[in-house]
Structure 1
Amino acid sequence: MKIPKRIQPLVDDGIVDDVLRQLMSGKEATVYVVQCGSEVRCAKVYKEASKRSFKNAVLYNEGRKVRNGRNARAMQKGSKFGREQQEEIWQSTEVDALYKFADAGIRVPTPYGCFGGVLIMELITDAEGYAAPRLNDVSMSEQEALKDHAQMMDYIVKMLSLGIIHGDLSEFNVLVDEQGPVIIDLPQAVDAAGNNNAKKMFLRDVNNMKQYYAQFAPSLSTTRYGDEIWAIFESGNLTPKTKLTGNFVDSEINADVDTVLDEINAAREEELARLARIDNAD
């Protein structure tokens, strides 16, 4: 096929030998299957912000730190240079997360580098060597659903232990090969401690996984892994080896406003009585 304009510099530099075909086009990027020497890999070409349909990107950018003051000011002003810096951060967030997740034992495509807005990474394949399907295109037995869901919860715990939330996790951002689920699409990864929307995004991610797998394993529909994991995280006790139950009980301790007001009034009356006794003594 004709080599896309954004990939041509990689061909010129010998990083990519040939573009075999387009694999998919999404809201944030177009992915191609490329030949790199003897290896067949993926080339993820990020779309420019003006052409990207990813909603509420500002919510995901919250908490991302920019060390260079000049860059931060440019981004705030929305200048051309600032937009370029924002794009670089958007792309590097995914690359950084891929390396961190792989090191933590979370299955993601192996990254081979990002060059001018093009991320070269491993092509995840099925048993026949074809591109692995996304989770939303896969049917499974109840046993398989329970197993893969448990694996996803393990990955989610490991991610949060690193202080990172996927932010857009769903059946469309998970591939499935012979070994199980593989997490993809991470440019919107969220800092769990620095983003005010972190908890909401985290619970949504976990709930998306529950809803999908519960189609095949109905017992999962009543689980509350999201609340359980987040509560352990907030307590400071979450580790990559944390064991989960899927159970969570909401606090039943509710403030009794009338009782509180009665206690306040009683204390006030007692203080007034004390002051009155002092005045009488004088």
Structure 2
Amino acid sequence: MVNNTIYFFEPSNKNSKKIVSDLVNLFDEFGIKTVDNCNDASIVASIGGDGAFLQAIRKNDFRNDCMYIGIGIEERNYMYVDFNYHNLSEIRRVFKLNNFEMRNYPVIEVKVNNNQPNYCLNEFTLRSSLVRTIMMDIYIEDFLFEHFNGDGIVVSTPTGSTGYNKSLGGAVVDPLISAMQVTELGSVNNNNHRTLGTSFLLSKERPITIVIDQSDNYYPIMSMDNEALSVQNTEKVSIKLSDKTIKTIRLHNNTFWHKTQRNFL
């Protein structure tokens, strides 16, 4: 797709009109016209932080026939956002010289009770809404891997591995590795219950299925990236790496590991 149209996504619509106006004029310099409908855009630009970037992708139905870029409005470090409104000269230089590469971020596909699939770029979480543990069987492909009893699980992409997953002791995974990571939330390990007790990686060829114990009413809470998923009477959740990928700009000397260093070291 020719990158000649752009849509600016503002999750709160609280940014100043000057910010949007400046960005519209900047991209107009390169013949990139602003459109009012994200479906008509070859570039979708979020204005804000990483949360705004994730929302832009979700509101755009995880389209993989366009390019996403993040434009921050605060002077801070991000994991998904590459550009900043306070450094318009960098945006001008990059687009004027086409001095960037495309990178593809893996996406997780989630099906609840055989419903239509949902997608997430960062992570999927499942936990009990009650103040007690939740019991569920975890299958890798068709193999019953473990009987889980605990607070819940987190399934993350490589780019999402620096988020909730990392705070739970999970590994940080290079986005060039096509894998998803499963990390436990408060698992119970004693003489009656046993889980692996550590996070593990699964390739694209190994989907997992979570079957929730129906002998009690657990009312699980599920979320994808930064949004809750409202589903009642959840029995089964199927999770796999999708064939979809999210296309973003890869700036020179600004890889995933450069960002990880700036954010955590």
User: What is the TM-score when the length of structure 2 is the normalising length?
Assistant: 0.25
- Structure with the bigger RCO (C-alpha within 8 Å, sep 6+) is 2
Decide which structure has greater strand share.
Answer: 2
